[in-house]
Amino acid sequence: MTFGEKLSWDDTVLPFQLDKSNIRGRVARLDGVLSGVLKQHTYPPVVEALVAEMAVLTALIGQTIKLRWKLSLQVQSNGPVRMIATDYYGPQEDGKPARIRAYASYDADRLTEADPFAQVGEGYFAIMIDQGKGTAPYQGITPLAGGSLRACAEAYFAQSEQIPTRFSVNFGLSTEAGTGEHWRAGGIMLQHMPKASPFAAAPAPELEGGSGEQGLLQPADVVPDGEEGENWTRANILLDTVDALELIGPSVAPTDLLLRLFHEEGPRVYDAQPVCFGCTCSEERVRQSLSIYSAKDLATMTTDDGRVTADCQFCGAHYDLDPAELGFEAEQGAGAADNA
């Protein structure tokens, strides 16, 4: 692959379909997106790895949904890494990139030398969808189990949606010649095509007796019988032959990778979706979030310099505001002055 071809596939999600197997999927490659996410913080490498895995899962899942506004993935745990949060904002216009942001909170003195997933302990993995005003937010959760965030996402789709879903994900520090060391990530998502789009209706009732850790359902537990089940099994065997470096790139284009893996399954690709790092925070949003507080409440938030400050955990933006201009009492005061 040439340098120009590499750049054309970086930070994209490529949708595809396997015509002979009734399976859809996505291939994601993240480079600049991860740089944008991780440069906002000085995470230890083990935390960076978790954020990288979460970001590529977010890109893969977000692109499968006809999203009007926001998809969020979140991990909450009692481990050294207490929380990982990611947001995927759908494109505002056709041809525009989707935006991804992410951050993690952790106790540095509790981190260990164990693998990244061991840092999250017990807790839950959640998927939340907010389609904007006039719609009810969707939320589903599953316990943290299975040895990876990828496995948690697979268990979520099996447990909450009863949709067989597989992920193959890889991430790591790139040391390409001529570029500085930086994180790259890539992944493939396979999903048995449901009769209705996931999240289109209320979650299906949960089944019992799954084969996974803690009795959770796994993709194999919800695979249809007969020919469809055989197709799913065959596609998964092929997926398991993927090499880690093929996922991350840059030597193999996603289209070439799909042909290498699934050429007998009739792969059909659609237009790739560009993704970028992007945050939606603003001073207006901060003022709106503080509008529910009284002057007395705001006094407890005011610094010795007489200011109310706020920092965005996602992008590091710092906001410095006058408390006299904040809260519902300030708004009432302004309205009274306007009516005088």
Q: Burial level of 169, CB count in 10 A (0-12/13-18/19+)?
A: buried
Task: Tell me if 281 sits within 8 A of 315, measured CB to CB.
Answer: yes
Q: Kindly report, residue by residue over 258-291, the tens digit of the pLDDT.
A: 999 999 999 999 999 999 998 888 889 889 888 8
pLDDT of residue 337: 36
pLDDT(80) > 90: yes
Q: Which of 123, 127, 132 is nearest to 54 (CA)?
A: 127
Taking residues 189-200, what's their average pLDDT? 69
Q: What is the pLDDT of residues 208-218, one digit of tens each?
A: 568 888 888 88
- Strands of the chain, DSSP E: 12-18, 23-30, 70-77, 81-89, 98-106, 123-130, 138-143, 165-174, 182-192, 267-269, 273-277, 308-311, 318-321
Q: What pLDDT is recorded for position 311?
A: 84
Only one residue has tokens 């947001």, namely 87
Does residue 7 register a pLDDT over 60?
Answer: no
- Residue 231: partners with Cβ closer than 8 Å, 6 or more residues away: 20, 21, 22, 23
Number of Cβ within a 10 Å radius of residue 73: 24
pLDDT of residue 4: 46
Give the per-residue pLDDT at 335: 39
Q: What confidence category does residue 176 fall into, taking pLDDT thresholds of 50, 70 and 90?
A: low
The stretches of the chain forming alpha helices (DSSP H) are 3-9, 32-38, 45-62, 149-156, 226-239, 244-248, 254-262, 283-289, 295-301, 327-339
pLDDT at 317: 81
pLDDT at 200 over 50: no
Question: Between 173 and 323, whose confidence is greater?
Answer: 323
Q: Is the pLDDT of residue 340 over 80?
A: no
- Contact (CB, 8 A) for 107 and 82: yes
Q: Is the pLDDT of residue 5 over 80?
A: no
Least confident of 94-98, 159-163, 173-177, 218-222: 173-177
The pTM assigned to this predicted structure is 0.85
pLDDT for 178 equals 64
